[in-house]
């Protein structure tokens, strides 16, 4: 599904190499986790995959379902099936949550050459999904994320993910200081959306999130590279021993 080969990335306006040859494959139906010390390049990887400005790919490739995503605009990446959830959800004053979601869903459909969802169909689908996620109707009408509590923002993020039905979900939860309740929301949401044709890349500094979202594969990133890959036990090993041994490896 996601195939990253020898990815090298530097800052655009500084002579600083951040990713130094990342190799990573995420298969459909699998949850891959990336852990690693602060500053190892985890967030940079998710930013580059999302198409954020300020980074320059100097070597390597990244494809989603065979398509070169690094050449695409951020909205084209979304249309191709990529969804990115970040630590700090954007607030959009003046735009109702439901209106925002409807235009996001329809923009994605349009980019795929599909018909728009009618407003009655959209209402039906969003009400069902909101109910599943225990999101009340009031939250659907409020401006996107404005004045939402941390838990409401997380719930809303999962709702966005559920509505867009992405092929690949990337979550960067590093250093987000998720409390236990928010962590449970995120992990329940991810677990509910796990499916044979959907892959996940879950980025986290801490092991505790991975107690709830049990990954199929765990990668350790250090100094801009994946330095070790294993099963869920690798996350527990890191929890017990810290990242020191991987820093030496790098």
Residues in contact with ligand ADP by CB under 6 A are 11, 18, 36, 38-44, 54, 174
Beta strands in the chain (DSSP E): 2-11, 17-26, 31-35, 55-64, 67-68, 82-85, 92-96, 143-144, 168-172, 199-203, 217-222, 225-230
Beta pairing, strands 217-222 & 225-230 = antiparallel
With CB cut-offs between 5 and 8 Å by kind, which of Mg ion, ligand ADP, none does residue 156 bind? none
Cβ proximity to ligand ADP: between 18 and 168 the closer is 18
* Cβ atoms of 84 and 203 closer than 8 Å: no
Task: Match 């951020």 to its residue by tokens.
Answer: 74
> Nearest approach, Cβ of 175 to Mg ion (angstroms)?
5
Cβ proximity to ligand ADP: between 135 and 226 the closer is 226
> Nearest approach, Cβ of 238 to ligand ADP (angstroms)?
14
* Cβ atoms of 162 and 194 closer than 8 Å: no
Cβ proximity to ligand ADP: between 84 and 126 the closer is 84
Beta pairing, strands 225-230 & 168-172 = unpaired
How many residues sit close enough to Mg ion to count as binding (CB under 5 A)? 4
Q: Interaction with Mg ion in 23-62: which residues (CB under 5 A)?
A: 38, 42-43
> Nearest approach, Cβ of 47 to Mg ion (angstroms)?
9
Q: Which two tokens stand for residue 112?
A: 């795929």
> Nearest approach, Cβ of 124 to ligand ADP (angstroms)?
39
With CB cut-offs between 5 and 8 Å by kind, which of ligand ADP, Mg ion, none does residue 231 bind? none
> Nearest approach, Cβ of 54 to ligand ADP (angstroms)?
5
> Nearest approach, Cβ of 66 to Mg ion (angstroms)?
28
Q: Tell me which residue has its CB nearest to Mg ion.
A: 43
With CB cut-offs between 5 and 8 Å by kind, which of ligand ADP, Mg ion, none does residue 46 bind? none
Secondary structure of residue 218 in the 3-state scheme: strand
Instruction: Figure out which of the listed residues 40, 174, 204, 222 binds Mg ion, where binding follows CB under 5 A.
Output: 174
Q: Which two tokens stand for residue 147?
A: 């004045």
* Alpha-carbon distance values, 143 to 78, 105, 156 (Å): 22, 17, 12
Cβ proximity to Mg ion: between 34 and 78 the closer is 34
Nearest to 11 by CA among 76, 55, 74: 55
Binding site for Mg ion (CB under 5 A): 38, 42-43, 174
């Amino acid at each position: 599904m996601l195939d990253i080969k020898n990815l090298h990335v530097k800052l655009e306006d500084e002579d600083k190499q951040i990713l130094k040859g990342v190799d990573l494959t995420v298969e459909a139906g699998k949850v891959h986790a990336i852990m690693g010390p602060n500053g190892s390049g985890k967030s940079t990887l998710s930013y580059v995959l999302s198409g954020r400005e300020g980074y320059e790919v100097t070597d390597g490739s990244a494809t989603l379902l065979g398509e070169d995503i690094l050449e695409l605009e951020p909205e084209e990446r979304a249309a191709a099936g990529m969804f990115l959830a970040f630590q700090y959800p954007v607030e959009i004053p003046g735009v109702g949550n439901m209106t925002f979601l409807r235009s996001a869903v329809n923009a994605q459909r349009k980019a795929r050459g599909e018909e728009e969802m009618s407003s009655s169909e959209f209402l039906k689908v969003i009400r069902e999904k909101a109910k599943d996620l225990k999101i009340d109707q009031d939250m659907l009408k409020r401006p996107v994320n404005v004045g939402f509590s941390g838990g409401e923002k997380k719930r809303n993020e999962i709702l966005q993910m559920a509505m867009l039905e992405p092929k690949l979900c990337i979550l960067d939860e590093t250093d987000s200081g998720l409390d236990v309740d928010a962590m449970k929301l995120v992990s329940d949401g991810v677990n509910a959306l796990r499916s044979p044709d959907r892959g996940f890349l879950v980025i986290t500094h801490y092991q505790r999130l991975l107690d709830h979202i049990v990954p199929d594969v765990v990668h350790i990133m250090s100094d801009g590279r994946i330095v070790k890959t294993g099963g869920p036990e690798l996350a527990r090993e890191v929890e017990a021993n810290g990242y020191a041994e991987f820093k030496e490896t790098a």
